[in-house]
Amino acid sequence: MDQSAEARILKEARHVGTLITPIYMDHAATTPCDPRVVEAMLPFFTKTFGNPGSRNHQFGWDAEAGVDRAREQVAALLGADEKEIIFTSGSTEANNLAIKGAATMYEKAPAGGTGRGHMVTCIIEHKAVLDPCKRLQKEGFDVTFLVPGKDGVVTADSVRQALRPDTILVSIMWANNEIGTINEIPQIGALCHERNILFHTDATQWAGKMPVDVERDNIDLLSMSAHKIYGPKGVGALYVRRRRPRVRLTALVDGGGQERGFRSGTLNVTGIVGLGKACEIAAAEMDRDATRLLALRTRLEQGVSSRLDSCQVNGHPTRRLPHLTNISFGFVEGEGLMMAVKEIACSSGSACTSASLEPSYVLKALDVSDELAHSSLRLSLGKWSTQEQVDFAVERIVGAVKKLREMSPLYDMHKEGIDLSKVEWGNH
Ligand SMILES: Cc1ncc(COP(=O)(O)O)c(C=O)c1O
Protein backbone atom coordinates (compact mmCIF):
# COMPACT_ATOMS: atom_id res chain seq x y z
CA MET A 1 0.00 0.00 0.00
CA ASP A 2 1.46 3.38 -0.93
CA GLN A 3 1.91 5.97 1.79
CA SER A 4 -0.82 8.32 0.60
CA ALA A 5 -3.43 5.54 0.54
CA GLU A 6 -2.42 4.57 4.06
CA ALA A 7 -2.64 8.17 5.20
CA ARG A 8 -6.07 8.54 3.60
CA ILE A 9 -7.45 5.42 5.24
CA LEU A 10 -6.04 6.45 8.59
CA LYS A 11 -7.61 9.86 8.24
CA GLU A 12 -10.97 8.20 7.67
CA ALA A 13 -10.57 6.67 11.11
CA ARG A 14 -11.05 10.22 12.35
CA HIS A 15 -9.78 9.82 15.86
CA VAL A 16 -6.55 8.12 14.94
CA GLY A 17 -3.50 10.34 15.08
CA THR A 18 -5.52 13.57 14.95
CA LEU A 19 -6.76 16.13 17.43
CA ILE A 20 -10.38 15.45 16.60
CA THR A 21 -12.01 14.64 19.93
CA PRO A 22 -12.44 12.32 21.59
CA ILE A 23 -8.82 11.36 21.09
CA TYR A 24 -8.18 7.65 21.41
CA MET A 25 -5.98 6.61 24.33
CA ASP A 26 -7.42 3.19 25.05
CA HIS A 27 -5.22 0.94 22.93
CA ALA A 28 -5.05 -1.65 25.71
CA ALA A 29 -8.80 -2.16 25.19
CA THR A 30 -8.53 -2.46 21.44
CA THR A 31 -6.65 -0.97 18.49
CA PRO A 32 -7.79 0.32 15.11
CA CYS A 33 -7.13 -2.08 12.26
CA ASP A 34 -3.98 -1.23 10.34
CA PRO A 35 -4.94 -0.31 6.73
CA ARG A 36 -2.33 -2.80 5.53
CA VAL A 37 -4.15 -5.50 7.49
CA VAL A 38 -7.48 -4.51 5.96
CA GLU A 39 -5.94 -4.62 2.50
CA ALA A 40 -4.59 -8.12 3.09
CA MET A 41 -7.99 -9.31 4.32
CA LEU A 42 -10.20 -7.87 1.58
CA PRO A 43 -9.72 -10.50 -1.16
CA PHE A 44 -10.65 -13.21 1.32
CA PHE A 45 -14.21 -11.86 1.67
CA THR A 46 -15.17 -11.96 -1.98
CA LYS A 47 -12.55 -13.57 -4.19
CA THR A 48 -10.67 -16.12 -2.14
CA PHE A 49 -13.76 -17.04 -0.17
CA GLY A 50 -13.38 -20.82 -0.15
CA ASN A 51 -13.49 -23.05 2.88
CA PRO A 52 -9.98 -24.22 3.69
CA GLY A 53 -11.57 -27.55 4.58
CA SER A 54 -12.59 -28.05 0.93
CA ARG A 55 -9.73 -30.28 -0.10
CA ASN A 56 -10.72 -31.00 -3.68
CA HIS A 57 -10.95 -27.67 -5.50
CA GLN A 58 -9.08 -24.46 -6.13
CA PHE A 59 -11.26 -22.27 -3.88
CA GLY A 60 -10.47 -24.42 -0.89
CA TRP A 61 -6.77 -24.60 -1.74
CA ASP A 62 -6.50 -20.82 -2.13
CA ALA A 63 -8.20 -20.21 1.21
CA GLU A 64 -5.96 -22.83 2.80
CA ALA A 65 -2.91 -21.09 1.35
CA GLY A 66 -4.03 -17.86 3.04
CA VAL A 67 -4.42 -19.64 6.36
CA ASP A 68 -1.05 -21.41 5.96
CA ARG A 69 0.68 -18.12 5.33
CA ALA A 70 -0.96 -16.57 8.39
CA ARG A 71 0.12 -19.55 10.47
CA GLU A 72 3.71 -18.93 9.36
CA GLN A 73 3.45 -15.22 10.19
CA VAL A 74 2.09 -15.90 13.69
CA ALA A 75 4.67 -18.63 14.31
CA ALA A 76 7.49 -16.32 13.16
CA LEU A 77 6.42 -13.65 15.64
CA LEU A 78 6.58 -16.16 18.49
CA GLY A 79 9.64 -18.15 17.45
CA ALA A 80 7.39 -21.19 17.08
CA ASP A 81 6.69 -23.83 14.46
CA GLU A 82 3.57 -23.34 12.29
CA LYS A 83 2.16 -26.65 13.52
CA GLU A 84 2.12 -25.20 17.03
CA ILE A 85 -0.40 -22.44 16.21
CA ILE A 86 -4.11 -23.03 16.87
CA PHE A 87 -6.45 -20.31 15.65
CA THR A 88 -9.20 -19.26 18.04
CA SER A 89 -11.78 -16.50 18.38
CA GLY A 90 -9.40 -14.46 20.53
CA SER A 91 -7.53 -14.60 23.79
CA THR A 92 -10.55 -15.44 25.91
CA GLU A 93 -11.03 -18.68 24.02
CA ALA A 94 -7.28 -19.36 23.86
CA ASN A 95 -7.03 -18.98 27.65
CA ASN A 96 -10.03 -21.24 28.21
CA LEU A 97 -8.62 -23.90 25.90
CA ALA A 98 -5.18 -23.76 27.52
CA ILE A 99 -6.40 -23.82 31.11
CA LYS A 100 -9.40 -26.14 30.98
CA GLY A 101 -7.85 -28.24 28.22
CA ALA A 102 -4.65 -28.88 30.17
CA ALA A 103 -6.39 -29.42 33.51
CA THR A 104 -8.73 -32.07 32.22
CA MET A 105 -6.10 -33.74 30.03
CA TYR A 106 -3.53 -34.06 32.81
CA GLU A 107 -5.70 -34.31 35.91
CA LYS A 108 -4.04 -36.25 38.68
CA ALA A 109 -5.35 -36.95 42.12
CA PRO A 110 -2.54 -36.82 44.70
CA ALA A 111 -1.88 -40.09 46.50
CA GLY A 112 -4.64 -40.54 49.02
CA GLY A 113 -6.18 -37.20 48.04
CA THR A 114 -9.49 -36.45 46.46
CA GLY A 115 -8.58 -33.38 44.38
CA ARG A 116 -8.13 -33.58 40.62
CA GLY A 117 -4.85 -31.66 40.59
CA HIS A 118 -3.46 -28.21 41.28
CA MET A 119 -3.14 -25.00 39.25
CA VAL A 120 -1.32 -21.74 40.00
CA THR A 121 -2.37 -18.31 38.77
CA CYS A 122 -2.51 -14.76 40.14
CA ILE A 123 -5.31 -12.56 41.49
CA ILE A 124 -4.62 -9.75 38.99
CA GLU A 125 -4.99 -11.88 35.87
CA HIS A 126 -7.67 -10.94 33.34
CA LYS A 127 -11.11 -12.46 33.97
CA ALA A 128 -10.49 -14.65 30.93
CA VAL A 129 -7.97 -16.54 33.08
CA LEU A 130 -9.53 -16.09 36.51
CA ASP A 131 -12.95 -17.37 35.56
CA PRO A 132 -11.79 -20.60 33.88
CA CYS A 133 -9.67 -21.22 36.98
CA LYS A 134 -12.64 -20.59 39.26
CA ARG A 135 -14.74 -22.98 37.23
CA LEU A 136 -12.06 -25.66 37.58
CA GLN A 137 -12.03 -25.01 41.31
CA LYS A 138 -15.76 -25.72 41.45
CA GLU A 139 -15.13 -28.91 39.52
CA GLY A 140 -12.65 -30.29 42.04
CA PHE A 141 -9.26 -28.80 41.10
CA ASP A 142 -7.22 -26.83 43.63
CA VAL A 143 -6.15 -23.39 42.49
CA THR A 144 -3.60 -21.12 44.16
CA PHE A 145 -4.26 -17.45 43.38
CA LEU A 146 -0.95 -15.68 44.01
CA VAL A 147 -0.89 -12.12 45.31
CA PRO A 148 1.60 -9.97 43.37
CA GLY A 149 4.03 -7.59 45.02
CA LYS A 150 2.79 -4.07 45.74
CA ASP A 151 4.47 -3.12 42.48
CA GLY A 152 2.15 -5.54 40.65
CA VAL A 153 4.92 -7.92 39.60
CA VAL A 154 4.63 -11.71 39.94
CA THR A 155 8.07 -13.17 40.61
CA ALA A 156 9.43 -16.64 39.92
CA ASP A 157 10.10 -16.94 43.64
CA SER A 158 6.44 -16.50 44.56
CA VAL A 159 5.50 -19.13 41.98
CA ARG A 160 8.14 -21.52 43.34
CA GLN A 161 6.61 -21.35 46.79
CA ALA A 162 3.19 -22.28 45.44
CA LEU A 163 4.22 -25.38 43.47
CA ARG A 164 3.10 -28.81 44.68
CA PRO A 165 3.73 -32.36 43.53
CA ASP A 166 0.27 -32.39 41.92
CA THR A 167 0.61 -29.01 40.14
CA ILE A 168 -0.49 -29.42 36.52
CA LEU A 169 -0.29 -25.90 35.14
CA VAL A 170 0.98 -22.44 36.01
CA SER A 171 -0.81 -19.59 34.21
CA ILE A 172 0.72 -16.15 34.64
CA MET A 173 0.08 -13.24 32.27
CA TRP A 174 3.06 -11.67 30.53
CA ALA A 175 1.97 -8.07 31.06
CA ASN A 176 -1.00 -6.77 32.99
CA ASN A 177 -3.77 -5.08 31.01
CA GLU A 178 -4.59 -2.43 33.63
CA ILE A 179 -1.20 -1.35 34.89
CA GLY A 180 1.16 -2.74 32.25
CA THR A 181 3.51 -4.43 34.72
CA ILE A 182 5.71 -7.17 33.30
CA ASN A 183 6.04 -10.49 35.11
CA GLU A 184 9.15 -12.70 35.33
CA ILE A 185 7.99 -14.88 32.47
CA PRO A 186 11.23 -16.57 31.26
CA GLN A 187 12.21 -17.32 34.86
CA ILE A 188 8.76 -18.72 35.73
CA GLY A 189 8.90 -20.82 32.54
CA ALA A 190 12.34 -22.19 33.46
CA LEU A 191 11.10 -23.11 36.92
CA CYS A 192 8.07 -24.92 35.53
CA HIS A 193 10.22 -26.84 33.07
CA GLU A 194 12.58 -27.94 35.85
CA ARG A 195 9.59 -29.43 37.65
CA ASN A 196 7.81 -30.86 34.59
CA ILE A 197 4.88 -28.52 35.08
CA LEU A 198 3.15 -26.90 32.09
CA PHE A 199 3.45 -23.14 31.75
CA HIS A 200 0.80 -20.97 30.10
CA THR A 201 1.05 -17.21 29.64
CA ASP A 202 -1.71 -14.86 28.60
CA ALA A 203 0.37 -12.64 26.31
CA THR A 204 -2.55 -10.59 24.98
CA GLN A 205 -0.97 -7.29 25.98
CA TRP A 206 2.60 -8.35 25.18
CA ALA A 207 2.82 -10.41 22.00
CA GLY A 208 3.17 -8.15 18.99
CA LYS A 209 4.37 -5.27 21.14
CA MET A 210 7.46 -6.80 22.71
CA PRO A 211 9.67 -9.72 21.63
CA VAL A 212 8.64 -13.33 22.26
CA ASP A 213 10.66 -16.48 21.73
CA VAL A 214 8.80 -19.46 23.10
CA GLU A 215 12.02 -21.51 23.24
CA ARG A 216 14.15 -18.92 25.00
CA ASP A 217 11.27 -17.90 27.26
CA ASN A 218 10.33 -21.49 28.25
CA ILE A 219 6.68 -21.27 27.28
CA ASP A 220 4.37 -24.22 26.63
CA LEU A 221 1.11 -22.40 25.95
CA LEU A 222 0.63 -18.75 24.94
CA SER A 223 -2.54 -16.79 24.18
CA MET A 224 -2.70 -13.80 21.89
CA SER A 225 -5.35 -11.71 20.19
CA ALA A 226 -5.42 -9.84 16.86
CA HIS A 227 -7.40 -6.81 17.96
CA LYS A 228 -4.75 -5.67 20.43
CA ILE A 229 -2.14 -5.49 17.67
CA TYR A 230 -3.95 -3.59 14.89
CA GLY A 231 -5.73 -6.69 13.57
CA PRO A 232 -9.45 -7.50 13.50
CA LYS A 233 -11.60 -8.41 16.48
CA GLY A 234 -12.81 -11.96 17.10
CA VAL A 235 -9.64 -13.80 16.16
CA GLY A 236 -6.57 -14.90 18.06
CA ALA A 237 -4.28 -17.84 18.56
CA LEU A 238 -3.04 -20.31 21.11
CA TYR A 239 0.54 -21.50 20.81
CA VAL A 240 0.72 -25.17 21.88
CA ARG A 241 4.21 -26.65 22.28
CA ARG A 242 4.79 -29.82 20.26
CA ARG A 243 8.25 -30.87 21.41
CA ARG A 244 9.89 -31.17 24.81
CA PRO A 245 7.17 -31.61 25.99
CA ARG A 246 4.45 -32.38 23.47
CA VAL A 247 1.45 -30.68 25.09
CA ARG A 248 -1.94 -32.31 24.74
CA LEU A 249 -5.22 -30.57 25.51
CA THR A 250 -8.82 -31.67 25.78
CA ALA A 251 -10.77 -29.75 23.15
CA LEU A 252 -13.53 -27.40 24.27
CA VAL A 253 -15.34 -27.49 20.94
CA ASP A 254 -15.84 -30.78 19.13
CA GLY A 255 -16.95 -31.16 15.54
CA GLY A 256 -15.18 -31.21 12.20
CA GLY A 257 -11.74 -31.73 13.74
CA GLN A 258 -10.18 -28.52 12.37
CA GLU A 259 -6.98 -27.21 13.94
CA ARG A 260 -5.75 -30.76 14.51
CA GLY A 261 -8.79 -31.48 16.64
CA PHE A 262 -7.94 -28.77 19.20
CA ARG A 263 -10.66 -26.44 17.91
CA SER A 264 -13.38 -27.55 15.56
CA GLY A 265 -15.33 -25.13 13.39
CA THR A 266 -14.83 -23.62 9.93
CA LEU A 267 -11.88 -21.29 10.12
CA ASN A 268 -12.41 -17.52 10.18
CA VAL A 269 -10.22 -17.15 7.12
CA THR A 270 -10.44 -13.37 6.73
CA GLY A 271 -9.75 -12.83 10.42
CA ILE A 272 -6.86 -15.29 10.39
CA VAL A 273 -5.30 -13.60 7.36
CA GLY A 274 -5.65 -10.28 9.23
CA LEU A 275 -4.03 -11.71 12.34
CA GLY A 276 -1.14 -13.04 10.25
CA LYS A 277 -0.56 -9.70 8.55
CA ALA A 278 -0.77 -7.89 11.90
CA CYS A 279 1.91 -10.23 13.26
CA GLU A 280 4.17 -9.65 10.27
CA ILE A 281 3.90 -5.88 10.67
CA ALA A 282 4.38 -6.12 14.42
CA ALA A 283 7.56 -8.14 14.03
CA ALA A 284 9.00 -5.50 11.69
CA GLU A 285 7.88 -2.40 13.61
CA MET A 286 7.68 -3.27 17.32
CA ASP A 287 11.13 -1.98 18.26
CA ARG A 288 10.60 1.36 16.60
CA ASP A 289 7.07 1.71 18.01
CA ALA A 290 8.11 0.78 21.54
CA THR A 291 10.90 3.38 21.58
CA ARG A 292 8.62 6.10 20.28
CA LEU A 293 5.76 5.23 22.62
CA LEU A 294 8.01 5.12 25.67
CA ALA A 295 9.09 8.68 24.92
CA LEU A 296 5.47 9.76 24.51
CA ARG A 297 4.39 8.03 27.69
CA THR A 298 7.24 9.62 29.63
CA ARG A 299 6.10 12.99 28.31
CA LEU A 300 2.56 12.22 29.44
CA GLU A 301 3.54 11.10 32.94
CA GLN A 302 5.98 13.95 33.44
CA GLY A 303 3.53 16.48 32.04
CA VAL A 304 0.95 15.43 34.60
CA SER A 305 3.18 14.85 37.62
CA SER A 306 5.17 18.06 37.16
CA ARG A 307 1.98 20.10 37.39
CA LEU A 308 -0.03 18.16 39.94
CA ASP A 309 0.78 16.99 43.45
CA SER A 310 -0.86 13.96 45.07
CA CYS A 311 -0.91 11.73 42.01
CA GLN A 312 0.79 8.36 41.61
CA VAL A 313 1.65 6.06 38.75
CA ASN A 314 0.46 2.56 39.68
CA GLY A 315 2.62 -0.50 39.23
CA HIS A 316 6.36 -0.97 38.98
CA PRO A 317 8.16 2.24 37.94
CA THR A 318 10.13 0.60 35.12
CA ARG A 319 8.96 -3.00 34.60
CA ARG A 320 6.01 -1.76 32.59
CA LEU A 321 4.77 -1.83 29.00
CA PRO A 322 6.10 1.27 27.23
CA HIS A 323 2.75 2.53 25.92
CA LEU A 324 0.58 2.27 29.00
CA THR A 325 0.22 4.25 32.21
CA ASN A 326 -2.22 4.04 35.07
CA ILE A 327 -2.36 7.16 37.23
CA SER A 328 -4.35 7.79 40.42
CA PHE A 329 -5.27 11.32 41.38
CA GLY A 330 -5.83 12.08 45.05
CA PHE A 331 -8.63 14.41 46.21
CA VAL A 332 -10.81 14.08 43.15
CA GLU A 333 -14.02 12.17 42.77
CA GLY A 334 -13.80 9.38 40.19
CA GLU A 335 -16.99 9.88 38.24
CA GLY A 336 -16.40 13.63 38.15
CA LEU A 337 -12.93 13.01 36.74
CA MET A 338 -14.19 10.72 33.96
CA MET A 339 -16.87 13.27 33.05
CA ALA A 340 -14.32 16.06 32.99
CA VAL A 341 -11.96 14.24 30.64
CA LYS A 342 -14.60 13.06 28.17
CA GLU A 343 -12.48 14.31 25.30
CA ILE A 344 -9.93 11.61 26.06
CA ALA A 345 -11.14 8.09 25.36
CA CYS A 346 -9.48 6.09 28.14
CA SER A 347 -10.37 3.64 30.91
CA SER A 348 -11.01 4.34 34.56
CA GLY A 349 -10.09 2.42 37.69
CA SER A 350 -13.72 1.53 38.16
CA ALA A 351 -15.22 -1.60 36.71
CA CYS A 352 -18.90 -1.66 35.91
CA THR A 353 -20.62 -4.57 37.57
CA SER A 354 -24.32 -5.07 37.05
CA ALA A 355 -25.39 -2.89 39.95
CA SER A 356 -22.56 -0.51 40.78
CA LEU A 357 -19.13 0.81 40.04
CA GLU A 358 -16.59 -1.42 41.73
CA PRO A 359 -13.01 -0.30 42.25
CA SER A 360 -10.63 -2.21 39.99
CA TYR A 361 -9.58 -5.52 41.59
CA VAL A 362 -6.11 -5.04 40.09
CA LEU A 363 -5.56 -1.70 41.84
CA LYS A 364 -7.05 -3.07 45.07
CA ALA A 365 -4.51 -5.91 44.97
CA LEU A 366 -1.79 -3.26 44.91
CA ASP A 367 -3.29 -1.73 48.10
CA VAL A 368 -4.60 1.29 46.25
CA SER A 369 -7.55 2.59 48.30
CA ASP A 370 -11.05 2.40 46.85
CA GLU A 371 -11.23 6.19 46.48
CA LEU A 372 -7.90 6.37 44.68
CA ALA A 373 -8.82 3.41 42.45
CA HIS A 374 -11.99 5.21 41.40
CA SER A 375 -10.02 8.32 40.55
CA SER A 376 -7.51 6.51 38.35
CA LEU A 377 -7.09 6.69 34.60
CA ARG A 378 -5.54 4.06 32.35
CA LEU A 379 -4.11 5.80 29.31
CA SER A 380 -2.73 3.54 26.60
CA LEU A 381 -1.05 4.91 23.51
CA GLY A 382 -0.77 3.34 20.07
CA LYS A 383 1.05 3.32 16.78
CA TRP A 384 -0.56 6.54 15.58
CA SER A 385 -0.66 8.47 18.85
CA THR A 386 1.03 11.85 18.47
CA GLN A 387 2.86 14.28 20.70
CA GLU A 388 0.08 16.76 20.00
CA GLN A 389 -2.47 14.30 21.40
CA VAL A 390 -0.34 13.67 24.46
CA ASP A 391 0.02 17.39 25.15
CA PHE A 392 -3.72 17.83 24.70
CA ALA A 393 -4.38 15.00 27.19
CA VAL A 394 -1.99 16.52 29.73
CA GLU A 395 -3.76 19.90 29.46
CA ARG A 396 -7.20 18.38 29.88
CA ILE A 397 -6.24 16.11 32.77
CA VAL A 398 -4.35 18.78 34.69
CA GLY A 399 -7.20 21.26 34.13
CA ALA A 400 -9.86 18.77 35.24
CA VAL A 401 -8.01 17.66 38.37
CA LYS A 402 -7.30 21.25 39.43
CA LYS A 403 -10.91 22.22 38.94
CA LEU A 404 -12.24 19.25 40.89
CA ARG A 405 -9.81 19.94 43.70
CA GLU A 406 -11.05 23.51 43.98
CA MET A 407 -14.30 21.95 45.17
CA SER A 408 -12.67 19.54 47.60
CA PRO A 409 -12.58 20.52 51.28
CA LEU A 410 -10.29 17.53 51.84
CA TYR A 411 -7.76 18.94 49.44
CA ASP A 412 -7.85 22.26 51.33
CA MET A 413 -7.17 20.42 54.58
CA HIS A 414 -4.36 18.47 52.94
CA LYS A 415 -2.79 21.71 51.71
CA GLU A 416 -3.02 23.14 55.20
CA GLY A 417 -0.85 20.24 56.29
CA ILE A 418 -3.52 18.28 58.14
CA ASP A 419 -2.85 14.54 58.13
CA LEU A 420 -6.21 13.24 56.95
CA SER A 421 -5.48 9.69 58.07
CA LYS A 422 -5.40 10.96 61.67
CA VAL A 423 -8.60 12.99 61.49
CA GLU A 424 -11.43 11.61 63.56
CA TRP A 425 -14.56 12.19 61.55
CA GLY A 426 -17.56 12.84 63.79
CA ASN A 427 -20.86 11.19 63.02
CA HIS A 428 -23.06 14.28 63.08
C1 LIG B 1 -4.77 -9.68 29.35
C2 LIG B 1 -5.97 -9.98 28.53
N3 LIG B 1 -6.38 -11.25 28.40
C4 LIG B 1 -7.46 -11.57 27.67
C5 LIG B 1 -8.20 -10.61 27.01
C6 LIG B 1 -9.37 -11.02 26.19
O7 LIG B 1 -9.02 -11.03 24.83
P8 LIG B 1 -10.08 -11.19 23.66
O9 LIG B 1 -10.79 -9.88 23.56
O10 LIG B 1 -9.27 -11.49 22.44
O11 LIG B 1 -10.98 -12.32 24.00
C12 LIG B 1 -7.81 -9.28 27.11
C13 LIG B 1 -8.59 -8.22 26.45
O14 LIG B 1 -9.05 -7.28 27.03
C15 LIG B 1 -6.66 -8.95 27.89
O16 LIG B 1 -6.24 -7.69 28.02
CATH topology of domain 35-281: Aspartate Aminotransferase; domain 2 (3.40.640)
State the distance from the centre of ligand 1 to the C-alpha of 288, rounded, in angstroms: 24
- Mutate which of 74, 204, 347 for ligand 1? The one with the most ligand atoms within 8 Å of its CB, which is 204
Residues 400, 401, 402: CA angle, nearest 5 degrees: 90
- Stretch (H or E) spanning 270: helix 269-305
Full pLDDT tens readout for the chain, 428 residues: 777 777 777 777 777 788 889 999 999 999 999 999 999 999 999 999 999 999 999 999 999 999 999 999 999 999 999 999 999 999 999 999 999 999 999 998 666 666 899 999 999 999 999 999 999 999 999 999 999 999 999 999 999 999 999 999 999 999 999 999 999 999 999 999 999 999 999 999 999 999 999 999 999 999 999 999 999 999 999 999 999 999 999 999 999 999 999 999 999 999 999 999 999 999 999 999 999 999 999 999 999 999 999 999 999 999 999 999 999 999 999 889 999 999 999 999 877 665 678 999 999 999 999 999 999 999 999 999 999 999 999 999 999 999 999 998 899 899 888 887 777 776 55
Q: What CATH class has 9-33+287-408?
A: alpha beta
Catalytic residue among 133, 279, 346, 352: 352
Instruction: Check for a shared fold between 9-33+287-408 and 35-281.
Output: no
Q: Which residues sit with their C-beta closer than 6 Å to ligand 1?
A: 90-92, 126, 128, 173, 177, 202, 204-205, 225, 236
Check if the beta carbon of residue 277 is closer than 8 Å to that of residue 36. yes
Q: Identify whether the C-beta of residue 186 lies closer than 8 Å to the C-beta of residue 157.
A: no
3-class DSSP assignment, residue 76: helix
What are the residue boundaries of the structural domains of the chain, listed by start? 9-33+287-408, 35-281
Are 321 and 152 spatial neighbours (Cβ–Cβ below 8 Å)?
no
DSSP-derived pairing of the beta strands 324-329 and 376-380: antiparallel
CA 225 to ligand 1: nearest atom: 10
DSSP designation for 139: T
Selection from 393, 98, 315, 129 nearest residue 222 by Cα: 98
Atom of ligand 1 lying closest to residue 128 CA = 4
3-state helix, strand, coil in the chain (%, to 5): 40, 15, 40
Residue 352 a catalytic site member: yes
3-state secondary structure 160-171: HHHCCCCEEEEE
Q: Ligand 1: distance of its center to the CA of 357 in Å?
A: 21
This prediction has a pTM of 0.95
User: For residue 34, what is the DSSP state?
Assistant: P
Residues 6+ apart with CB under 8 A from 307: 394, 398
Please state whether beta strands 142-146 and 167-171 pair in parallel, antiparallel, or not at all (unpaired): unpaired
Residue bearing the CA closest to ligand 1, atom 13:
29
